[in-house]
Amino acid sequence: MTVTSDQIRAFVVPVESLRRACPPLAAQTSPADAAPTAASFLSQERAIEALRFAFQVDRDGYNVFVLGPVGSHRHVLAQELAGERARQQGAPPDWCYVNNFANPEKPRALRLPAGRGTGFRDDMQNLVEEARFAIPAAFEEEDYRNQLKALEQESQQEVKAQWQSLKELAAADGISVLQTPSGYVLAPVRDDKVIDDEEFDELPAKERKRIQAAIKQLSEELQSRIEHMPALRKNHHERLRELNQEVTAHTVKVLLEDLKGKYADLPEILAYLDNVQQDMIENARAFRETDGPSLPFLAQDPSSVFEAYEVNLAVSNEAGASAPVIYEANPGYTNLIGKVEHRAEMGALVTDYRMIRAGTLLQANGGYLLLDAHRVLTRPFVWEALKQCLFAKQVRIESPAETLGFVSTTSLKPEPVPLNVKIVIIGERWLYYLLSMYDKEFNELFKIAADFDDDVERSADNVDAYARLIFHRIDAHKLLPFSDSAVQRIVEERARHAGDSERLSTHIQSLDDLLVQADHWARQREAVRVDTDDVTAALEGSERRFKRVQQRIVDAIQRDTLLIDTSGSCVGQVNGLSVIDLGNYRFGHPVRITATTRVGTGDVVDIEREVELGGAIHSKGVMILSSALSSRYAPEVPLSLHGSIVFEQSYGGVDGDSASVAELCALLSSISEVPIRQSLACTGSINQLGRVQAVGGVNEKIEGYFEICRQRGLDGTHGVVVPYDNVKHLMLREEIVDAVKAKRFSIYAVRHLDEALAILTGSEPGQRDAQGQFPQGTVNRKVEERLIRYATKRREFSDSAGNHEKAE
């Protein structure tokens, strides 16, 4: 029983459903109406709502992970919304690192109101410059000189008095105190003259004894006074130091008086200035000494003695500005956390607090920091360091090598800075799901997910919004004006990019690429605006650049290296359709599917799975069609069939269930021996009840088969059978639409297996009557009868084998 042409025509997809044209643009849509901000991007309400919610909740853990495909300008929208919120907030404080005079290895971090950090740094620099001149000048004052002279005279008088009293004591005993190059000597005198040894020996024994006793006693007194001299000198130096400190203290106090008044509202700064004042007083000598060292190799910049009072302005914000919004494109450890730099001095690496550099985590403190998830996760130590900072709510600048104990040299340990920042991590969905599953701390730190849609509904409002977006991107890239027809063509292409006539792709990067390339072709022809032909040239040029693999497959088919029939009929053979995805380019091509059947035990062999070329989803599809076969045609008898299905000349992996309708039709053709028309191709998945289900890549599949038929010559018999549920996804090239209009090519949409059988075989599939029987001569009747014969033969064979065993 054959199917009439009228019956087959009932399944033909109307021409208007093959490509949904873009209606004329709304009157108000023009370049002047272009979207001014990223927040007006199409129908991303869910993501926008999530971002705004996260930005408004000032609680721990309410950081955001932005999910979505690469190229959808997620970071642009996130940055725009963060900026919108930041403008409602004040600028965060400035942060400075200063010397810790008590422990230089642990520099202090000082907080100042926004904008005052720069002034504080400059004030301290001016203070040092003034001190360099004011302190030495104070020591040149006449008052200081008089006090210094008096102190020197007093000290000299004390020493002189010590020696004078000793001499008087010695003179009373007739002894003189003499100073020689080798030290002090005590000698007896007579008539004011020192006597020599001979004269001393001539003295009476009693006199000699007295003189010796006196010299011994005076020697002890002399030694005592010599030992007391350092104490006198120390006392003198201490009094001199006190005098110098008193002069310095007075000078520094005057210098700092205005500065302390200026920062009277900042207790931390006042405490630091007190420390500066005390250190300057204690190191007054450094301000007075201007001569360099005597050894040339020890020479250093005279200004280095004043570096201890410099201010390292690590984070500076402008007063009255909004909170910072920073996108860190290269989130390495040092870029994100910060670092302590070193310099070489005399063959050694040295550092100080002035070489501390803040990372973007501190630069964005009090605001918003945007990071790329993949880059954060692939940079060493960054992910763990970021989590540690968020948990501790502070940033400690240190080398990761120090954290791991790899560095033995002494380094700085700067005081940690309190952290209050909103982190926005931007990544693909699979990264978010992996982190949620395997990093238990992730969900605690990133409580908000902003999920971007890959596409949006193609409503009238969204089409107008998309046109405004196109004009916005044209203006952003400073391109030539686009005609309305060119914009309409682009809108249609965005639906095609989404793979759905009722949706529009939100992939902004590919939109920008199309606009730039269309602008190029318009400029090549010296046009003043971009027209539809330029958009078409851009699309065709992009396709041509990626078409090498597709062209090789087409050539192989045309040269009969890959066997694909597009005419005639064949039992157990059907043209399936496959899609190859090369990343930036997807294309479809036909593949021959064959099936063979014989008496067996009820199994359908998927050869692709047996040789480990078939994926799990493809194997699932084969198992479903095996179940559909048995429940539909052998519900009351054992399925005594052995069938095998294979993708011919397929040498790579095969996955997906989009060929299950074609596979089942090939299997039924083999069972019933009803041939399948080779001028048609088929795609679609099937469930156990025979319902044909939608598949992906339907446009690419149709276009791939059309290209083969076009090159061989369209004769009106060629076409493709697709699921009815895929009709809404059709956005075919205009070339195919024109061919369908001319009745040289056809697209058939089916809901059930029987409809696919009717089109592919040209024979009536048949429906069960009231008695549960398929009509005589239909495809389904032939399948059922053949399966019953298989069951009978299997039973007969089993009985024969059993009798043979008994006879033995």
Query: Which range among 223-237, 239-253, 410-424 has the greatest average pLDDT?
Result: 410-424
Report the DSSP beta bridge partners of residue 469.
Answer: none
- Residue 91 near residue 115 (C-beta atoms within 8 A): yes
- Asked, for residue 111, whether it belongs to a domain, the answer is no
Q: Indicate if the pLDDT at residue 12 is higher than 90.
A: yes
Question: Is the domain of 623 the same as that of 526?
Answer: no
Question: Is the domain of 395 the same as that of 464?
Answer: no
Query: Which range among 194-198, 500-504, 609-613, 770-774 has the greatest average pLDDT?
Result: 500-504
Mean pLDDT value across the chain: 84
Question: Is the domain of 778 the same as that of 638?
Answer: yes
Catalytic residue among 578, 626, 670, 701: 701
Paired tokens of 305? 């003695």
pTM of structure: 0.80
Q: Assign residue 350 the CATH number of its domain.
A: 3.40.50.300
Write down the H helix ranges in 634-764.
660-672, 698-712, 734-741, 753-761
Q: Indicate if the pLDDT at residue 656 is higher than 70.
A: no
Sign of the Cα pseudo-torsion (48, 35, 517, 530, in order)? positive
Question: Is the domain of 518 the same as that of 374?
Answer: no
Q: What is the per-residue pLDDT for 297? A: 46
Q: Indicate if the pLDDT at residue 211 is higher than 90.
A: no
Q: Indicate if the pLDDT at residue 263 is higher than 90.
A: yes
Question: Mean pLDDT, to the nearest integer, of 452-467?
Answer: 88
Catalytic residue among 658, 660, 670, 672: 658
- 191 sits in the region (left: phi over 0; alpha: psi -120 to 50; else beta) called left
- Asked, for residue 797, whether it belongs to a domain, the answer is no
- Asked, for residue 431, whether it belongs to a domain, the answer is yes
Question: Is the domain of 153 the same as that of 272?
Answer: yes
Number of CB atoms found within 10 A of residue 749's CB: 22
Q: What is the per-residue pLDDT for 792? A: 84
CB burial string 449-476: b at 16+ within 10 A, e below = bbebbebbebeeebbbbbbbbbbbbbee
Distance between CA 195 and CA 355 in Å, rounded?
Answer: 73
Distance between CA 463 and CA 26 in Å, rounded?
Answer: 9
- Residue 508 near residue 40 (C-beta atoms within 8 A): no
pLDDT confidence tier of residue 651, bands split at 50, 70 and 90:
low
Q: Indicate if the pLDDT at residue 228 is higher than 70.
A: no
Q: What is the per-residue pLDDT for 615? A: 53
Q: How many domains does the chain have?
A: 4
Q: Assign residue 492 the CATH number of its domain.
A: 1.10.8.60
658 in active site: yes
Q: Identify the domain boundary among 394, 416, 447.
A: 447
Q: What is the per-residue pLDDT for 385? A: 94
Distance between CA 530 and CA 477 in Å, rounded?
Answer: 14
- 193 sits in the region (left: phi over 0; alpha: psi -120 to 50; else beta) called beta
- Phi and psi of 211, rounded to 5°? -65, -40
Distance between CA 247 and CA 239 in Å, rounded?
Answer: 12
Q: Identify the domain boundary among 518, 545, 572.
A: 545
Distance between CA 765 and CA 778 in Å, rounded?
Answer: 5
Please report, for residues 233, 369, 375, the alpha-carbon distance to residue 329 in angstroms, rounded to integers and kept in the order given: 65, 11, 8
Percent of the chain at pLDDT exceeding 90: 50
> Could you please report the per-residue DSSP string of 601-658?
SSEEEEHHHHTT-B-HHHHHHHHHHHHHHHHHH-SSS---EEEEEEETT--S-B--ST
Question: Is the domain of 581 the same as that of 539?
Answer: no
209 in active site: no
Burial (0-12, 13-18, 19+ Cβ within 10 Å), 426 = buried
Distance between CA 780 and CA 364 in Å, rounded?
Answer: 71
Question: Is the domain of 236 the same as that of 362?
Answer: no
Question: Is the domain of 21 the same as that of 80?
Answer: no
pLDDT-wise least confident of 32-36, 263-267, 720-724, 793-797: 32-36
Bridge-based pairing of strands 719-723 and 692-693 is: unpaired
pLDDT single digits (tens) 504-546: 998 888 999 999 999 999 999 999 999 999 999 999 999 999 9
Question: Is the domain of 752 the same as that of 650?
Answer: yes
- Asked, for residue 313, whether it belongs to a domain, the answer is no
Question: Is the domain of 434 the same as that of 526?
Answer: no
Rounded to whole angstroms, the maximal C-alpha distance in the chain is 170
Domain that holds residue 414: 44-90+322-447
Q: What is the per-residue pLDDT for 280? A: 85
Distance between CA 65 and CA 720 in Å, rounded?
Answer: 43
Question: Is the domain of 471 the same as that of 428?
Answer: no
- Asked, for residue 805, whether it belongs to a domain, the answer is no
Q: What is the per-residue pLDDT for 131? A: 84
Q: Indicate if the pLDDT at residue 458 is higher than 80.
A: yes
pLDDT confidence tier of residue 7, bands split at 50, 70 and 90:
confident
Write down the residue that tokens 């693909």 correspond to: 428
- Asked, for residue 315, whether it belongs to a domain, the answer is no
Q: Assign residue 568 the CATH number of its domain.
A: 3.30.230.10
Q: What is the per-residue pLDDT for 41? A: 54
Distance between CA 779 and CA 787 in Å, rounded?
Answer: 12
Q: What is the per-residue pLDDT for 144? A: 74
> Could you please report the per-residue DSSP string of 526-539?
T-SSB-HHHHHHHH
Query: Which range among 140-149, 233-242, 552-561 has the greatest average pLDDT?
Result: 552-561
Return the higher-pLDDT residue of 686 and 301.
Answer: 686
Give the up-direction half-sphere exposure of residue 30: CA atoms within 13 A in the CB hemisphere: 3
Q: Which of 453, 373, 327, 464 is nearest to 50 (CA)?
A: 453
Q: Identify the domain boundary among 516, 545, 574.
A: 545
Q: Residue 84 is inside which H or E element, if any?
A: helix 74-86
Distance between CA 284 and CA 276 in Å, rounded?
Answer: 12
Q: What is the per-residue pLDDT for 271? A: 94
Q: Indicate if the pLDDT at residue 753 is higher than 80.
A: yes
Return the higher-pLDDT residue of 450 and 237.
Answer: 450
Sequence letter at residue 275: N
Q: What is the per-residue pLDDT for 168? A: 66
Distance between CA 472 and CA 32 in Å, rounded?
Answer: 9
- Asked, for residue 775, whether it belongs to a domain, the answer is yes
Q: Indicate if the pLDDT at residue 227 is higher than 70.
A: no
Long-range contacts of 154-163 (CB under 8 A, 24+ apart): 155/232, 155/233, 155/235, 155/236, 155/239, 158/232, 159/229, 159/232, 162/225, 162/228, 162/229, 162/232, 163/225
Write down the residue that tokens 């860190």 correspond to: 328
Question: Is the domain of 442 the same as that of 366?
Answer: yes
- Asked, for residue 272, whether it belongs to a domain, the answer is yes
Cα dihedral 506, 507, 508, 511, rounded to 10, equals: -100
Return the higher-pLDDT residue of 803 and 390.
Answer: 390
- Residue 213 near residue 124 (C-beta atoms within 8 A): no
Q: How far apart are the first and last CA of the chain?
A: 50
